Structure 1
């Protein structure tokens, strides 16, 4: 069976492959930036622990920064995991199926489960972020972080990237299924 990385002969398949390549390149660039949130998270945790237990002076600001950095890593890491095929899945079942059947199930799952979920989250998250911005929402703690809308904006941004990743994967699966075996 051929894979989607060989040159497709169909013009539709070529455009699908080009779109998948563009989406994956964008996701890899965003992921390269967001991966530093983990290093920053470790530094902030060490600093917070040192401040709290070494100097008896923990700051709410550091705790909130930890939550935000963790959210960035997880939310944007979803799309990276999808395009690198490093997400958690049930390989026990997939190992008993034919490769093309696995690809068909992935397409089915994307169309009937993942995309509707992404749509619902995106549909609701834009108002969520806009309301937070219009209200000037900030932390309820006196020394907490302002601009709560900024971290809430990670929700639609990360789910747009996830939609791109799932679409890229689906395009590659469709190309693989429809190509003739050589």
Structure 2
């Protein structure tokens, strides 16, 4: 079990790195979108390639961050019933959901999307739009994203099993503040510091 917990920790570290890297893609998408709009309205120039690269990058953000969302418990949870149970019971519910819903779905999508990517790669499929991009990188995002999601789901299973055996803390720390709450606290702390500096 210790080896499995180390494996889960390594998967978590990989997912964290990929998620933090994907944050920069948001900035890239904004810059491309703004640049494309600026060119369209100032010099009357537009490019299908620039439009498509935005879609590719949106896809990269979505697929690369699916595992990151799972790691940080940022996906939607409807706890009308499960929220009334103990943490151990909720952990068993999570394990059931991971084993019988998330993992089978992700594996099926991975298996079915791989041949689509391979066909696009082997044929050099291009966009139907004039001046568009080659298609296979976008097709690769689907199996790659679901592979990362499968890895993170395995990590979550290991951590939940470890929690049930008393070998690691609860993987879902309900008392831990959300990213939004941390941001609000950081802004408030900065504001308080600025006010104290002004008083001096």
Query: TM tier, shorter chain?
Result: 0.7 to 0.9
Q: Distance in 2 between matches of 1:94 and 1:69?
A: 36
Cα offset, 1:28, TM superposition: 1.6
Q: Which residue of 2 aligns with 1:39?
A: 27
Match among 62, 86, 91 for residue 74 of structure 2: 86
**What residue number does 1:7 align with?**
none
Distance 1:31 1:57 in 2: 34
2:154 aligns to what?
Answer: 167
Distance in 2 separating the partners of 1:131 and 1:88: 34
For each residue in 1:93-148, what CA deviation from the matched residue of structure 2 results, as whole angstroms up to 9, or x when unmatched? 332121111111110001101111111111111111110011110111121112x1
> TM-score, normalised on structure 2?
0.79
Equivalences for residues 1-182 of structure 1 within 5 A:
12=1, 14-146=2-134, 148-179=135-166
**Structure 1 residue 156: Cα displacement:** 1.1
**Which runs of no fewer than 5 residues in structure 1 stay unpaired?**
1-11
Q: CA deviation at 1:90?
A: 1.3
TM-score (norm 1): 0.86
Unpaired stretches in structure 2, ≥5 consecutive residues: 168-200
Paired residues in the alignment total: 167
Using CA pairs under 8 Å that are at least 6 residues apart, name the structure with larger relative contact order, 1 or 2: 1
1:44-84 C-alpha deviation (Å, 9 max, x unpaired)? 11011112223222211111011011001111111101111
Q: Which has the larger radius of gyration?
A: 2
